[in-house]
């Protein structure tokens, strides 16, 4: 009998099966962790924009709250003005952050006294599960279905 070198086909199949079992256990856990991280980032972003909106309205009293989200951002190097206040990162001011679309809706008045801010997952179930919203009160709320957050939705604890 010859001296064999290497692995048999059965041994290789067993190793591949073990790797597949481990992957089947690990991938769903990874996806849940990524969704939770995206949701935490969305809530943090909404809180950051709320703070920036209050600062903006205090700085530009004659304007009130900004007309849109990009008014609080500004590209580097940023010079503060009512149309680019340099209060939030420009990538957040453009409306997307960590799998969420951030949307600003002003009241259209001058000076503006109200706004609505929403964070919607780009792909419900993949980038996030919940939709978040807030307004000038600063209270962040969520809708577990990811599609209809309102001022009557449950508050984030």
- Please report, rounded to a whole number, the percentage of residues in the chain having pLDDT higher than 70: 99
Entry pTM? 0.82
Domain coordinates in residue numbering, the chain: 12-155
pLDDT in tens, 71-121: 999 888 888 998 899 999 988 999 999 999 999 999 999 999 999 999 999
The helix, strand and coil proportions of the chain, stated in percent and rounded to the nearest 5, come to 40, 20, 40
CA proximity to 73, closest of 93, 59, 48: 93
Q: Output phi, psi for 54, to 5 deg.
A: -65, -45
């Amino acid at each position: 009998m010859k001296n064999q070198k290497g692995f048999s086909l059965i041994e290789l199949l067993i190793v591949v099966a073990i790797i597949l079992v481990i992957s089947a256990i690990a991938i769903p856990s990874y996806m849940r962790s990524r969704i939770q991280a995206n949701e935490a980032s969305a809530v943090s972003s909404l809180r950051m924009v709320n703070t920036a909106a209050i600062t903006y309205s205090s700085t530009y009293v004659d304007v009130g709250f900004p007309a849109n989200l990009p008014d609080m951002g500004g590209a580097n190097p940023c010079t503060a003005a009512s149309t680019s206040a340099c209060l939030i990162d420009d990538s957040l001011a453009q409306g997307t952050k960590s799998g969420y679309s951030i949307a600003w809706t002003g009241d259209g008045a001058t000076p503006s006294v109200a706004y609505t801010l929403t964070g919607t997952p780009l792909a419900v179930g993949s980038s996030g599960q919940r939709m978040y919203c807030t307004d000038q009160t600063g209270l962040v709320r969520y809708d577990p279905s990811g599609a209809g957050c309102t001022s009557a939705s449950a508050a984030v604890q």
